[in-house]
Chain A
Amino acid sequence: MHVVVCVKQVPDTEAPIRIRPDGQGVDESGLTFVMNYYDEHAVEEAIRIKERAGGTVTLIAAGPARAAEALRAGLAMGADQAIHIQDPALDGLDHLALARVLTAAIASVPYDLVLCGKLATDDNAAVIGPALAEFLDLPQATAVTRLELGDGTATAHREVEGGVEVLEISLPAVVTVERNINEPRYPSLPGIMRAKRTPITVKTIADLGVDLGGSGAARVRLLGLAPPPARPPGRMLEGEPAEVVRELVRLLREEARVL
């Protein structure tokens, strides 16, 4: 079973985000980047499949030079090889155009299954997985919490409103995973050393033979970024316990409307 996993490097969700003065991106200075959490679960699932059924795990990431660290982290967990799409033109691409680039990279290696995280924590778009399925003309299952592979088919469990939906899909397929599908392993020291020795294949968009057209095929344009509104300061209630509690209950009921 050959599994391809698309991984994205994103700012650590605990890192404070500062928006660039031009409003077109975030200030990366002093920011720590990590592999998107959902993608870690996809890598873990792929490695477990390899451990059970044999085969290979190939990681693909598109992004600047620093994105190689996410690939190294995945290699250290146990993936076999990695492709890093590095191109200045990546910057202006919308999700659909990026999915075209990733599609070409996936098509350049043998695959029976393509895994992605359900979404990336930086932009919450959840577009890439379904777009890959479309461009590769494959069946898909999204937000999967359990995946069982059969002979030429896979059974995917999805949590839906009020229950679990169970799908059967033929392979090859694209599957995006939820965080509760597994518990990702920590890379071991020998794993980290192996990752260091594994060469990462670097490709440009042209290397992949993708022609995005003059405008970079961007059909979505970023108008601006703004920080979320500052949280209003907390309020301290003072007085005798009995009146404070009465007041707290009133506020929870009338203002916060949580009771």
Chain B
Amino acid sequence: MEFELGEEHRLVQATVREWATSRLLPIAAEMDRTGRYPPELIRELGDLRLTGVFIPEAYGGGGMDTISYCIVIEEIARAEAALAAVLSVQNSLDCYPIFAFGTEAQRRRYLPELARGRKIGCYCLTEPTSGSDAASLRTTARDDGDHWVLDGTKIFVTNGVEAEILIVYARTEPGETGSRGISAFIAEKGDPGLSVGKIERKLGIHASSTCEIVLDECRLPKDRLLGERDRGFHIAMATLDGGRIGIAAQALGIARAAMEDAIGYARERRQFGRPIAEFQATQWKIADMATRIQAGRLLTYRAAWMRDQGRRHTREASMAKLFASETAMWAATQAVQIYGGYGYIQDYPVERHFRDAKITEIYEGTSEIQRMVIARHVLGAS
């Protein structure tokens, strides 16, 4: 058993940490305030291939493994969580399904631009009446000879405003309900009938966009079907297994940010004649944060390792995502508490970590859904 990162993983960690510390951390508070990120950051990340970490070099990617992906997302989230969400969607929810389920022509058309960060991708699954119950989606795709015609509204689409390549799920068998008869499609910005709807204002991860994507008689050429017809739900779930590992890593980054900032503050802040880091009440909070973060990282790396081994990892991905996201929320809450009144003020970073952490318990499957998935695997099929 190896509990140490290999040389190339340490080099990835050092590289991304240095990039994030010098390029991202100094503007993190401003990104949160303005709700934007400088677009050139995506180009820089693309030059390093962090926008396509596990896509083979032949398609313009980094050619690395899921462990590397976890390291990348954690280090980015440590500096600024919204850009980690952007990257996580790009890698897990766009690059991955196109690479894993796309035709050779689709891979060649879309992967180089996604993996090199020249175009942003998004993932359109959720609808106003279908969230956790993704299989109840109502968007339809009608066969119209040489085109598919999509109708429906997708919501909560991360990267939706900037996205030029969209993965869209729609029902191809109108008679079917539930997970059968759903197919995946690749849409492109500019496709007729495709538009950005309402742009959401969120509690946290302000710098990443979240919006509605409206499909109004949206016509897609026949070669935009991703994977087999009516097998889209399988693609959605397989994609989310990897996505959840990425969100676990993002949550670890936020938890680490909360802990590291709290440690810095606790050493400097003096009350009753000494730094508050000398009080046991503070020390125990920090000790619990460090322990939970370590446990979350081990769960996350193990899920990533199983994915790299080509083994089933649905349960492990859910466990990692559940534990890491609840750790992020808990650690951020403790960090605000350690800062006291200052923790509630926007001038200090833990207020941002507190708001950013919450989304990790919600998107790509709420904590309740993760527990459902885990229980199904532990108790046996229901």
Binding site of A, secondary structure by majority: helix, strand, loop or mixed?
Answer: helix
- Interface size, chain B (Cβ < 8 Å): 20
Q: Give every chain A residue within 8 A of B14 (Cβ-Cβ).
A: 34, 73
A-B contact count (CB 8 A): 51
A196 touches B19 (CB 8 A): no
Q: Give every chain B residue within 8 A of A193 (Cβ-Cβ).
A: 8, 57, 62-64
B53 touches A189 (CB 8 A): yes
Given A69, A186, A188, A190, which contacts B10 in the complex, CB threshold below 8 Å? A69
In whole angstroms, what is the CA distance A34 to B13 when docked? Answer: 13
Given A69, A187, A189, which contacts B63 in the complex, CB threshold below 8 Å? A189
Q: Give every chain A residue within 8 A of B19 (Cβ-Cβ).
A: 186
| Interface membership of A195, Cβ < 8 A | yes
A196 touches B62 (CB 8 A): no
| Interface membership of B321, Cβ < 8 A | no
Given B11, B49, B61, B68, which contacts A76 in the complex, CB threshold below 8 Å? B11
In whole angstroms, what is the CA distance A195 to B15 when docked? Answer: 14
Q: Give every chain B residue within 8 A of A190 (Cβ-Cβ).
A: 49, 57, 62-63
A186 touches B63 (CB 8 A): no
| Interface membership of A192, Cβ < 8 A | yes
| Interface membership of B188, Cβ < 8 A | no
| Interface membership of B50, Cβ < 8 A | yes
Q: Give every chain A residue within 8 A of B7 (Cβ-Cβ).
A: 68-69, 72, 196
Q: Would you give the shortest CB distance from B115 to chain A, in whole angstroms?
A: 10
Given A69, A186, A188, which contacts B18 in the complex, CB threshold below 8 Å? A186
| Interface membership of B12, Cβ < 8 A | yes
In whole angstroms, what is the CA distance A186 to B47 when docked? Answer: 9
B64 touches A189 (CB 8 A): yes
A192 touches B64 (CB 8 A): yes
| Interface membership of B48, Cβ < 8 A | yes
Interface hits, B1-36 → A, CB 8 Å: 7-8, 10-12, 14-15, 18-19
Other A-B pairs, 13, CB within 8 Å; known A188-B48, A193-B64: A69-B7, A69-B10, A76-B15, A186-B15, A186-B18, A186-B48, A188-B62, A189-B49, A189-B62, A189-B64, A190-B49, A192-B8, A196-B8
Give 10 pairs: A residue, B residue, CB < 8 Å, sorted on A: A73-B11, A186-B18, A186-B48, A187-B15, A188-B47, A188-B49, A189-B61, A190-B62, A193-B57, A196-B8
